[in-house]
Structure 1
């Protein structure tokens, strides 16, 4: 009887662990269907407005469970010099890990490129949701990556602290 109970407990633990792994890595992500026009946007230096840039080979995932689970990959014909002269840079980009099955997005490779200068980060859209910015990084060979990152105002407010004076008031939440 003891061996049966031990096997039952072990089997239940394996099933529960497998279920949790599946839920964390696969279940909450959905493929983003590209619209072909507005999927990749950068904020222009002169107007501080986001505008689409030319892109191809777009693929993205997102999740309703968290505003920072968005990841995308694309290719662009625009060179880094044109991008740097036209669009707003992003000062402290931190590419967030993507699920292993979304293999076009490698946060470690992107971070290395940002550090060694073979990639540049730009403000895609500020406050795409309160406290969350959409960041776009482009490499010198035209590969591009998009992710959401918590901005300074979001970090303070999400930590439960009072809204800084230079930040917009957060929306009321129920």
Structure 2
């Protein structure tokens, strides 16, 4: 009877571990359907509404389980220096890792390009979800990457700090 209980315990642990792994890496993600003219936008320096830029080869993933699971990749033939003159740079320049199976988005490679000055991170949109901004990084080769980052309000709200009056009201579930 003892062997049976041990085998049952080990088997149920393995099944639970495998299920948790699958859900974290694959289960919650879905492919984002491309919407030409709406997928890739940058925030002008004058603070007006985000402006769509020209792009090709768009692919992205997202998940309803977290506001920061969005990742995207695209190509653009726009000049990086021209973009730098017209659009707002982002203070958040640390791309979040993506699941290994989403091969176009390599956070270490993107981060290295940003550090070396071969890419620039731009603010795409503020508060795409409560306390979450969209960031777009574009390399000097025309490769583009998109991810979500917590803004100051999001960092405070999600770590339990008092948010304060400068942040919008958090939506109720």
Mapped pair 1:37 → 2:37: yes
Whole-Å separation in 1 of the counterparts to 2:19 and 2:76: 38
Q: Alpha-carbon deviation of 1:118?
A: 0.8
Deviations 1:114-149 (A, max 9, x none): 111111000000111221100000111000000000
The equivalent residue for 2:169 is 170
**Equivalent residues in 2 for 1:81-100, closer than 5 Å:** 81-100=81-100
SS at match of 2:39: coil
Q: Alpha-carbon deviation of 1:49?
A: 1.9
The equivalent residue for 1:150 is 150
Consecutive unaligned residues of structure 1, counting only runs of 5 or more, are none
Q: Name the stretch that deviates more: 154-163 or 26-35.
A: 154-163
**Equivalent residues in 2 for 1:60-71, closer than 5 Å:** 60-71=60-71
Q: Alpha-carbon deviation of 1:47?
A: 4.3
Q: Alpha-carbon deviation of 1:12?
A: 1.6
The equivalent residue for 1:48 is 48
**Equivalent residues in 2 for 1:63-142, closer than 5 Å:** 63-142=63-142
SS at match of 1:145: strand
Quick check: 2:89–2:121 contact (8 Å CA) kept in 1?
A: yes
Q: How many residues align?
A: 173
The equivalent residue for 1:12 is 12
**Residues 18 and 89 of structure 1: CA distance in aligned 2, closer, same or farther (over 3 Å):** same
With the length of structure 1 as denominator, give the TM-score of the two structures: 0.93
SS at match of 1:112: helix
Cα RMSD for the two superposed structures: 1.5
Whole-Å separation in 1 of the counterparts to 2:105 and 2:34: 17
Where in structure 1 do 4 or more consecutive aligned residues deviate above 3 Å? Answer: none
